[in-house]
């Protein structure tokens, strides 16, 4: 008998019919003799609706209240799913009329404690007492993903895709035998199957590669969930909620064996939510970059690719990218910096860029991978604006309208295309 955490994404609970399907799947797992804790996202589209409402009232709504609003979608999903499990359990004769097989919980009710970083809160600890007593009593706890509670009893949210992280954190806290992430694709692919029809399903992928793919735009798993899974050795399994095909297992690198190591590139990621900032007219002296990025860090803005250009006529310039969601806050922070410190600074931004990246642990042992990437893009006349690399990835900024072409040619060029 295993303890399994099952997480269902927005599409998986997107309608009453689908919620019934999820309820049946949960009870099938219970019927195999396992104990199951469930985490669910809001019904698809619901969180976007709440985001739009908040932005209608305030273009910069990020605050305690914003998290309160955004967390509401999960409350409905959790209630509906618990209702559906109970109805199905009665139909199967597992509980008597009026009996209970599942109970829905919000994050704060099951002690999911976070810091107070609204909209990107981090889970600190989970109090498992109530959850274990439910599991021991044969109840399926259905827990709201994406949310927690901070020290001042305010509701926090974990950032988009945060239910993945809720599920992994719960699995770690409960020492679950498996954490199953049910979604609308049947696993992790060599690239986003929506973008490139030739994408192939990966049977097993290392935590490191999955982390890179997630941070570079593959939203199939939230990056934080993969970090947590690696840290706490949570077995992670990405599966489809709509079929019974085997999914993708995220495993430690040593479990991959040699054959995978020989591949230099395992996947291609793309992200068109990038804004490039170009700052000109900065004083050319040490400490300036530290002041610019210090100002952004104080606003918790995560900066990506950075390039410091050669100074021209005594003035320095600097380029970097941020996620589109942070563009407004970045602009505000830069304007404040201009007013306070760098009056000569010119701020230019460009939203028409996308980041395409190749990822693979095998890259470390294969020199020349970056050169091949530039060559493949060059053959398609794709202009590269910025480049950044790490041990196991190379990213290039390209024009957004060339993103699909870039992904497809890299996918083909590195031998990832499906053969049929």
Q: By the criterion CB under 6 A, which residues form the site for ligand ADP?
A: 9-12, 41, 161, 183-185, 188-189, 191-194, 213, 218-220, 267
CA-wise closest residue to 405 among 389, 383, 386, 385: 383
Nearer to ligand ADP, 184 or 350 (CB): 184
Closest C-alpha among 281, 35, 49 to residue 136: 35
Q: How far apart are CA 104 and CA 144, in angstroms?
A: 8
Contact (CB, 8 A) for 240 and 248: no
CB closer to ligand ADP, 163 vs 402: 163
Cβ nearer to ligand ADP, comparing 41 with 157: 41
- Alpha-carbon gap, residue 358 to 103, rounded angstroms: 43
Which is it for the CA torsion 88, 90, 95, 99, positive or negative? positive
Q: Which is nearer to Mg ion, 9 or 73 (CB)?
A: 9
Q: 78 and 106 in contact (C-beta within 8 Å)?
A: yes
38: its two tokens: 């469930």
**C-beta separation of 19 from 38 below 8 A:** no
Instruction: Give the shortest CB-165-to-Mg ion separation in angstroms.
Output: 10
Whichever of 105 and 189 has its CB closer to ligand ADP, that residue is 189
Output 147 or 409, the one with its CB closest to Mg ion. 147
Choose which of 148, 161, 247, 413 interacts with Mg ion (CB under 5 A): 161
Min dist. Cβ of residue 268 to Mg ion (A): 19
Cβ-based nearer residue to ligand ADP, 333 or 373: 373
Q: Of the two residues 14 and 161, which places its CB atom closer to Mg ion in the complex? A: 161
CB-based contacts of 250: which residues, under 8 Å, 6+ apart?
A: 188, 204, 205, 206, 207, 210, 221, 226, 229, 236, 237, 238
In whole angstroms, the minimum distance from the beta carbon of 74 to Mg ion comes to: 13
- With contacts defined by CB under 5 A, name the span among 6-14, 249-257, 298-306, 308-316 that binds Mg ion: 6-14
**Sole window of 12-20, 158-166, 351-359, 412-420 interacting with Mg ion (rule: CB under 5 A):** 158-166
Question: Looking at residue 286, what DSSP letter applies?
Answer: T
Q: Is the dihedral of CA 24, 26, 29, 33 positive or negative?
A: negative
Which option in ligand ADP, Mg ion, none does residue 188 bind, with CB closer than 5 to 8 A by kind? Answer: ligand ADP
Q: State yes or no: residue 217 binds Mg ion (CB under 5 A).
A: no
Query: Closest CB to ligand ADP belongs to which residue?
Result: 9
Residue 189: contacted member of Mg ion, ligand ADP, none (CB under 5 to 8 Å, by partner type):
ligand ADP
Longest pairwise C-alpha distance within the chain: 82
Q: Residue number with the shortest CB distance to Mg ion?
A: 161
Find which of ligand ADP, Mg ion, none residue 365 binds, CB within 5 to 8 Å per kind. Answer: none
Least Cβ distance, residue 10 to Mg ion (angstroms): 7
CA–CA separation, 278 vs 276, rounded Å? 7
Question: Which of the stretches 108-116, 119-127, 155-163, 281-289 binds Mg ion when contact is defined by CB under 5 A?
Answer: 155-163
Structure tokens at 104: 């829905």
C-alpha 268/C-alpha 191 separation (Å) is 5
Radius of gyration of the CA atoms of the chain, in A: 23
What's the closest the beta carbon of residue 40 comes to ligand ADP, in angstroms? 10
> What does the binding site for Mg ion look like in residue numbers (CB under 5 A)?
9, 161
């Amino acid at each position: 008998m295993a303890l399994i955490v099952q997480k269902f994404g927005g599409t998986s609970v997107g309608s009453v019919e689908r919620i019934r399907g999820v309820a049946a799947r949960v009870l099938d797992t219970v019927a195999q003799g396992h104990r199951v804790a469930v985490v669910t996202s809001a019904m698809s589209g619901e969180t976007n609706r709440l985001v739009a409402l908040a932005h209608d009232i305030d273009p910069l709504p990020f605050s305690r209240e914003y998290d309160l609003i955004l967390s509401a979608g999960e409350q409905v999903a959790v209630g509906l799913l618990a209702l559906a499990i109970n109805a199905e359990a009665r139909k199967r004769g597992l509980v008597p009329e009026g009996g209970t097989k599942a109970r829905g919980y919000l994050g704060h009710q099951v002690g999911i404690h976070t810091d107070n970083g609204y909209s990107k809160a981090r889970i600190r600890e989970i109090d498992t007492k109530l959850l274990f007593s439910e599991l021991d009593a044969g109840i399926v706890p259905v827990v709201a993903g994406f949310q927690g509670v901070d020290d001042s009893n305010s509701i926090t949210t974990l950032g988009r895709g945060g239910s993945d992280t809720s599920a992994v954190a719960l699995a770690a806290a409960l020492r679950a035998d498996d954490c199953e992430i049910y979604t609308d694709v049947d696993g992790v692919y060599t690239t986003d199957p929506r973008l490139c029809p030739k994408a192939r399903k990966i049977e097993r992928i290392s935590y490191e590669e999955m982390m890179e793919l997630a941070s570079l735009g593959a939203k199939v798993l939230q990056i934080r969930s993969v970090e947590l899974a690696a840290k706490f050795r949570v077995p992670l399994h990405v599966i489809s909620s709509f079929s019974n095909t085997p999914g993708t297992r995220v495993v430690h690198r040593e479990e991959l064996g040699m054959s995978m190591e020989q591949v230099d590139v395992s996947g291609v990621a793309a992200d068109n939510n990038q804004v490039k900032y170009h700052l000109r007219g900065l004083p050319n002296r040490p400490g300036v970059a530290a002041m610019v990025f210090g100002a952004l860090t104080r606003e918790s803005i995560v900066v990506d690719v950075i390039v410091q250009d050669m100074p021209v006529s005594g003035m320095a310039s600097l380029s970097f990218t941020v996620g589109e969601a942070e563009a407004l806050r970045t602009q505000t922070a830069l304007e404040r910096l201009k007013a306070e410190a760098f009056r000569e600074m010119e701020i230019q931004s460009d939203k028409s860029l996308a980041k395409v990246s190749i990822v693979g642990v095998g890259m470390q042992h294969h020199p020349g991978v970056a050169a091949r990437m530039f060559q493949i893009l060059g053959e398609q006349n794709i202009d590269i604006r910025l480049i950044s690399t790490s041990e196991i990835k190379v990213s290039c900024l390209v024009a957004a309208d060339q993103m699909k072409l870039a992904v497809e040619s890299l996918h083909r060029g590195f031998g990832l295309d499906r053969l049929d």
